[in-house]
Structure 1
Amino acid sequence: MSDVPGESEAGPIRRDPIVRTIALSDIFEALALGLRDFQAAPLYGLFFGAIYALGGIGIVTAAFAFGIGWLPYPVAAGFALIGPFVAVGLYEVSRRREAGTPLSFASVLGVVYDQHRRELGWMAFVTLFVFLVWMYQVRMLLALFLGFKSFASLQEFLDVVLTTPEGLMFLAVGHVVGAVLSVVLFSLTVVAFPLLLDRDLDFITAMITSVRTVTTNPVPMLTWAAVVVALLALSILPGFLGLLLTLPVLGHTTWHLYRRLVAPPIA
């Protein structure tokens, strides 16, 4: 037996993060703290919000440029899936404010850049993979219900899916599949990104811990998921520009939720 506390003959004993139970009130308290972080450091929030918004605008613009008029709708619907990855810089801002560490763009962006050498890069791959699965299943459902018909514009696409039986079936099935993918990704990532930023863990442990927070707190976490979906949907409507304000608040709030959901490591 090893005489060193926390070690065995095989090496250090692995301790999985401890998941706490929270109440609905914790969601709204975390939202208030997230809003306070944004108000205290608005330039950082606007910077990362602009990156997210410009990414959406760029994808939609490219879709129209290449004559893929139907693409903006599924892109807007699935764009929220990659939000947790874009918000990594916001988690770092909240972490530094919490610790009383000075803020600077160089330090925050430096930490974000360093993540490509850590497990957080694998989490980004998981997020992007689910987004690609979403886009692939949209194309597959289009072929299944509407054939291989091409749409010259978004308006033509909406006219077909909103006024024909086949289009309505496409919408119904597509939204069910999208909801399932969203719940799966939400469960895998809701605290995984801030956890990997905060601790030296592997991304599998981070995803398992994230799922445990959802299964331990189903009502509060599904409420949080509904809040995220509603706010992002409203933000995307005005040409993605609402994300300039929504993403920072949601990002900072996610950090404070992580702090309430996952207990500090045992020394």
Structure 2
Amino acid sequence: MSGGVLMNTFVLETSQIPRRRFGIPRVPAAQPFSWLRSGFDDLMAAPITGLLYGAAVAALAFLIVSLTVGANRFYFVPFIFGGFLVLGPILSVGLMAMAKRRESPGEKPSETIRRILAANNSGLSLMGLFLLLVFINWIMLSNLLFGGVYHEVMPTYAEVRPLPVIFGQSWPFALVFGGIALVLAVLVFRITAVSLPMLVDQRVDAINAALASSRAVGDNWPAMSLWAIMIAALTTVGILTYFVGLIIVTPLLGYASWHAYRETLIPESKEASGRDTDI
């Protein structure tokens, strides 16, 4: 914990999981820069693994866009970029597992990562399903808004206009589209910012992990707001460089997200609680 002062606690207790407290320290507003530095250190510790992971995510993003363009759904492309921000967190789970493995250097990487991911496969699957549903609904809402305002459900390639041009032609569309995007972004970030690394680290269900994430983000909103902006900005840069930038951005943010979790949600010691929910 980097100089944080405990300001609140989250109590984890379900019928399957014993009672355990998690401290939520107050972190400085500029702490996300430290998380990025720690993420960079993790990337430099195993650059080939991290870059290969980033390349796989970049290839997936390129494939999705290529299939969309190939199906003549050109107008979907700008909205897919926004949707990628939704799916990005679940795609980084493997990186979070690798960051956790660095804390137990004596174990074999492959065995450790399999053990970590298998321990909470149901919770991770449920969170992935939630993000997939948000992504699908985002695309559907974008399509409905675009078609309702411009009466163009399937424009040709020649008729496709950049998103800033579309916004300039219809301020109501810009306001409604921007409002929906902001609400979804805040919802997804608050639920996933801490929950995904928590699912990698603790024996916890997806609902409790989401509640813990919401609490941690809300109690540290200055730092978390900056963190959300940094994630959006770096991911946008990765996408605008024809996905090449995602090769570096993906592992950098994935590792940094682990350190953000470590500094904003701290489990009570096993000795103090008499319980152990660590994976």
TM category, shorter: 0.7 to 0.9
1:120-153 CA distance string (max 9 Å, x none): 1111111111111211110110122112442122
- Compute the displacement of 1:196 (Å): 0.7
Structure 2 CA distance, aligned partners of 1:247 and 1:197?
17
Matched position secondary structure for 1:158: coil
Matched position secondary structure for 2:267: coil
Residue matched to 2:246:
243
The answer as to whether partners of 1:48 and 1:86 remain within 8 angstroms in 2 is no
What root-mean-square deviation, in Å, do the aligned CA atoms of Structure 1 and Structure 2 show? 2.3
Change (3 A) 1:122 1:216: same
Change (3 A) 1:201 1:149: closer
Structure 2 CA distance, aligned partners of 1:107 and 1:164?
50
Residue matched to 1:126:
130
AA of the residue aligned to 1:17: F
Residue matched to 1:5:
none
**Matching residue within 64, 75, 100 for 2:69:** 64
Residue matched to 1:26:
31
Give the TM-score taking structure 2 as reference length. 0.84
Paired residues for 1:19-98 under 5 Å:
19-98=24-103
- Compute the displacement of 1:161 (Å): 6.6
AA of the residue aligned to 1:92: A
AA of the residue aligned to 1:187: R
1:198-249 CA distance string (max 9 Å, x none): 1101111100000011110110000000000111111100111110000111
**Matching residue within 174, 177, 182 for 2:177:** 174
Q: Does 1:114 align with 2:112?
A: no
AA of the residue aligned to 1:172: L
Give the TM-score taking structure 1 as reference length. 0.87
* Structure 2 unaligned blocks of 5 or more: 1-14, 271-279
Instruction: List structure 1 segments (4+ residues) > 6 angstroms apart after TM superposition.
Output: none
Give the share of equivalent positions with the same residue, in percent: 27
Matched position secondary structure for 1:141: helix
| Residues matched between the structures, number | 256
* Structure 1 unaligned blocks of 5 or more: 1-9
Name the one with the larger strand percent. Answer: 2
Structure 2 CA distance, aligned partners of 1:160 and 1:49?
27
